[in-house]
Structure 1
Amino acid sequence: MRQTFKQAFIYEPLYRYEVTALPHELELFQSKTLRRLKFLTHYGTASLFSSIMHSRLDHTVGVWSIIARFFPQEQELRLAALLHDIGHLPFSHAVEKTLGFNHHQNTEKLIEEGEIAGTLRKYGFKPTSITTLLNQNTPLTNTTSYLGADHFDSFLRDAYFEGGTVHNPYELVNKIHFNGNVIETDVETGLHIMDAMVVDHTSFLSPYALAIDGLLAKAIEAYSEFHSVNISFIEPLTNYELIYHLQTSESPLVKELIKIILWEPYRISVSEEIKKEALQVEVKKIYDKEVLVDGKPITLVSQVAREKLQQIRDLQKTYYVTYEK
């Protein structure tokens, strides 16, 4: 993937598709706000103990390429795809849910203020028009149970790098189209997409991934209290900057937690049994999306699809985390 963004031709290797970036898109790709996403792992804290290292920027390019491919003339929708993740915190969802942040609100703020707003206005776009799109049901994403471009890319990208997909993503993207705001395909392709959903959820919602999430959130809280800083200090940071703050803290608790997270994860134990003084972590959200087949939800035409969706829903559990002293 050519991510220097000096040239307008941007190749997405996962889908084997080249998009010509419009002048305003290219300028946004060159902004610090977008560039920061290169230093946020899409896979959250799981990237700390796995080989999966793709970034939020990789995901953004993927989503934008899908929207540009199927909706080439809809410039505001393309911009929404380009900017939809800029408000993410370090390690993405890992600390957001536990610490009470909302990356959607952060994204809206970054679009409507500062360098992004300036670039949009320079080319005649209203920042509020883009944030309005992000809050509506569109082919990018929606509040329904149906699959849009954002989660489609997440599932396929994560599962591909996990090594859990039979078909390459480019084969699947060539077999989909959009029915309104929703991805539609045939049953076989739909089941392959659902396989990727299951692989992705099983991995990023594994007990140890959730345990690392919980310990990282605890370390951030301890850092904030020890150093008397508002916890919002983490909002503009990259993954590396956050780790640096935690590693250089003088707090004994923070030092111990980041040592375990980075160097000694084998000390962590996770159980479904309630344990006294254990750190409680839970699956707060799943993405049980489905595609359309001949205008109908795939679960209405396939028992296998219903079983796969139930596999994902069954992952909603609570765990108790301890570590060796």
Structure 2
Amino acid sequence: MTASTRPVRPHADTVGLGGHHTDPLWGTVTTLTPLEQALLRTWPVRRLGHVAHAGAVATVTTQTFSRLEHSLGVLGLVAHLDGADAVTRAAALLHDVGHAPLSHTLEGIAGIDHHVTGPARVRALGDLLGAHGVDVADVVATLSGARASALRPRPGLVTLDHLDGYVRSARAHGRRMPAPARLLRRLTLQDGVVRTDPAGARVLARLADAEVAYHRSSLNVLAVGVVRHLVRRWLGPGADAGPVVGMTDGELVAALLRDPRTGDETRRFLTDPLAWCVVPARPGPVPEGVELVPGGRSYHARALVDGEPLPDRVPVPDRVADQWVLRRDHPEARSAAAMP
């Protein structure tokens, strides 16, 4: 066989070149439908390639993969485990289009809510979906969980969205785990929930626990807190999310660097993130110059074994403690250092 006649292996591209997508994490090769190829050439989907899945912590860790990489991973899992449901496949590719820059980092600021923005962006693609025989209302219902699918959220149970997130994050952070392709061979779906054997469930439980610990870590809280503080200052009081939600990560950082109110602090954060620190929040009002990062609920789920979720070996608290993020030269930082 000559070089000119040798078959060309699929590429791990994000544009659907040649009608295939090879996922470098799972090893899946997905034959893309005409609709999926068309969606990969729309701005709502392309923009996800410029939004870090990890959010602000992508600036201080090696977890730098994009929302588009994750969305293509979820599409590959749906295609591999759940076949040819065109609506669910489209929803897999579109499930994150509502995210603002830096993903979850800015949620709640000036009304930013990807659960509101996402359906609106999907509906704006209604003509394209309809031209390929897919009803946009079905896609929106799939994303909300109103329509049964492999993407329907189940509280406390691993879905394909969780699965890709846990494993992709574990690879980025160097956590020990079996090769993802081997792990995938042990997985099936039961009513849209990941099902496996006891050994596979234990692997997923360890990865889920590691992801929870990562989200609670001081490094994650620090990056989130600093960026939220800078964005609040840039937007000013009473602002709406309009100038922000459609940006890419790079556009947001560029805007923060340009603005005289945030430029120096943004440059300092990018240069020396540890100029800030994280301390436990105290009762009462938040001091000036301090960003409160609410702990919120745990991002915690389990796979099914024989129809039942693998039980937790250690109870997981419902909520995480609130934290303050502040400059190390802030008076509160010195007070916190003196606390027992």
TM-score, normalization: structure 2? 0.86
Contact 2:55/2:105 (CA < 8 Å) preserved in 1?
yes
Change in Cα spacing, 1:48 to 1:131, as seen in structure 2 (3 Å) is same
1:258 to 266, 274, 290: 266
Change in Cα spacing, 1:185 to 1:143, as seen in structure 2 (3 Å) is closer
Structure 2 unaligned blocks of 5 or more: 1-11, 330-340
Contact 2:111/2:240 (CA < 8 Å) preserved in 1?
no
Contact 1:141/1:149 (CA < 8 Å) preserved in 2?
no
Identity over aligned pairs, percent: 22
Structure 1 residue 3: deviation in Å?
Answer: 2.2
Counterpart residue identity of residue 294, structure 2: E
Change in Cα spacing, 1:124 to 1:158, as seen in structure 2 (3 Å) is same
Contact 1:95/1:214 (CA < 8 Å) preserved in 2?
no
Structure 1 residue 124: deviation in Å?
Answer: 2.1
Structure 1 residue 49: deviation in Å?
Answer: 0.7
Aligned to 1:279: 291
Residues 66-120 of structure 1 deviation map (CA, whole Å, 9 limit, x = unaligned): 001112221111111111001111110011145542112111001111xx22210
Counterpart residue identity of residue 63, structure 1: V
Aligned to 2:300: 288
Contact 1:64/1:81 (CA < 8 Å) preserved in 2?
yes
Structure 1 residue 314: deviation in Å?
Answer: 7.3
Structure 1 unaligned blocks of 5 or more: 300-304
Superposition RMSD in Å: 2.0
Aligned to 1:203: 214
Contact 2:292/2:323 (CA < 8 Å) preserved in 1?
yes
Contact 1:155/1:197 (CA < 8 Å) preserved in 2?
yes
Aligned to 1:188: 199
Write the mapping of 1:212-251 to structure 2, written as runs, cut at 5 A.
Answer: 212-225=223-236, 230-251=240-261
Structure 1 residue 273: deviation in Å?
Answer: 5.5
Contact 1:87/1:104 (CA < 8 Å) preserved in 2?
yes
Structure (1 or 2) with the larger CA radius of gyration: 2
Structure 1 residue 144: deviation in Å?
Answer: 2.2
1:260 and 1:198 mapped to 2: Cα distance? 32
1:184 and 1:98 mapped to 2: Cα distance? 37
2:313 to 306, 309, 318: 306
2:104 and 2:118 mapped to 1: Cα distance? 14
Greater share of helix = 1
Write the mapping of 1:133-212 to structure 2, written as runs, cut at 5 A.
Answer: 133-136=142-145, 138-212=149-223
Residues 261-291 of structure 1 deviation map (CA, whole Å, 9 limit, x = unaligned): 2112121121126397243212223222111
- The more displaced of 133-142 and 75-84 is 133-142
Residues 245-272 of structure 1 deviation map (CA, whole Å, 9 limit, x = unaligned): 0000022xx2243133211212112112
Change in Cα spacing, 1:279 to 1:2, as seen in structure 2 (3 Å) is closer
Change in Cα spacing, 1:73 to 1:5, as seen in structure 2 (3 Å) is closer
Question: Partner of 2:243: helix, strand, or coil?
Answer: helix
2:93 matches 1:93: no
- The more displaced of 45-54 and 266-275 is 266-275
Contact 1:38/1:58 (CA < 8 Å) preserved in 2?
yes
Aligned to 2:337: none
- The more displaced of 189-198 and 284-293 is 284-293
Structure 1 residue 132: deviation in Å?
Answer: 0.8
Question: Partner of 1:86: helix, strand, or coil?
Answer: coil
Aligned length: 312
Aligned to 1:59: 70
- The more displaced of 278-287 and 232-241 is 278-287
TM-score, normalization: structure 1? 0.90
2:90 matches 1:79: yes
